[in-house]
Structure 1
Amino acid sequence: MSISEETKEKILVLLTDAQQENMYNFNTYSLLINANDITSEYYRDAEEDLLIDPAGNVPEQYRFSVEMVSDEFRQPRLVELYSNKFKNVNVEDYFIRTISYLDILLEEMYRLVLLEQGLSERNISRKIKFGNGHLPHVLIQEIDGYRNDDSQDQNVVDYMFMYEIYRQYRHAIVHSHGVLNSRHLTKIDSTCAQIESRLGTQFRRENLAFIESNKVELNIESMAMLRHWVQTFIWSLRLKLS
């Protein structure tokens, strides 16, 4: 359907804010990773054996009667944690936060469309959900520019499909330490089949980024790839809106 210029302007504001938020989040997590590297070097070069108490800064009223300090937080282990695990935590957090922000963006876009249609907030809240017949693909049906996008390169529909796959990645990261279970894989394979049908060329799970042996594997390069993908996704949403 056609949406008013007023609603388009409101959506454009959302999209502009989303691009800025993506860059802010990327910069924030990049600086955290840089801090990891500096801290790792500090502990590696320290001449004395160190023991860090993670509860050291906890206010007295929130401390347990007995606070256990693990040998895990001695110098050698600290170097390893700051060099690897903590860095990976930042990369995963960036992925989780980024895909979650896209959830909010698409929900707010759909909310503006439904408001224009005269729906009450109560009815809007019932319609805003993800799944078959709902977000994200419902936006393609509701906005002419998205439905009629005939770009030869990746268009809005293609981005929506990849976004659905990344939502499965996020779920795996949060709930199963990145391991894609049968439910995740079934949904991903179904989406790949739809992409293959659209493109007319083979598109399999093995073609996807960030997967290795049915596990989501992320690194600093993954952050850069996701940042770029999100910016071009949002730019496509902006461009095809009109």
Structure 2
Amino acid sequence: MSQPKLDPRYFILAFLLSFVVMGQLFLDFFQKWDTFFASVATTMLVEVVLCRWIRKKWIFPLSAFISGIGISLILSSYLVWPYVLAAVLAIATKYVFRLGGSHVFNPNNVAVVFVLFFLSEYVVTTPKQWTNDVSVMVIILVLGLVAAYVAGRLDTVLAFAAGFVLFAYVRHAWFDEPLLFAFGPMMGASFQLFVFFMLTDPKTTPAHSSARIILAFCIAAVDAWFRIHAITNSLFYAAFVVTLLFGVPYRWMLLRRQRT
């Protein structure tokens, strides 16, 4: 008899909590514990309420817990309410934008894109507060790779990383970007959070490896185009655009095939 497998979400949870612990205890984050607890409490509460209201059942909101941590790490604001708003949006969109019985967009990606685009005077992303200390980044990198492997999305991570390297070289060689400026984001926490947290979501990435690789490569290409045109927060916008233009039609096509 086969042994039950540990839910891969626990590895993602451990990965994100490593960010929180390092940030709060060693890196003196601008965001304090109040934003962490506000984000997590809101996502979990909204998930429990909506699941009970719509699906008529009680759940332990593990996914919402993970989403709340992600929001508290990715966003930076001197106010607490943007974290609460992003947390509400992240969970609510799971119940609004659905296709084939599952949510379409990565909840955190939608929430982050919304607040960054419409509330840019209150919210930014957080790369500057992270140290570039190699030891810290290596620890997070190892945890992220383990989490991606357990979630069955290591191919997505490697495809995106390869695409980013390729287009970073293109930006350096043909668009005169300094070498360190082109490749430097790969050592940043925002990049690693995006790659190991958003790109590895099993619910919003294709089931087939080839489709995941194409999706990841497309995101890297759109991200490069945004960077060439000096659009900030390019990773998050690229993921949203590619999901909208490629991910949604791909899932709709699969549903049509299943029904015929």
TM-score (norm 2): 0.25
> Structure 1 length as normaliser, TM-score?
0.26
Name the structure, 1 or 2, with higher relative contact order (CA <8 Å, separation 6+): 1
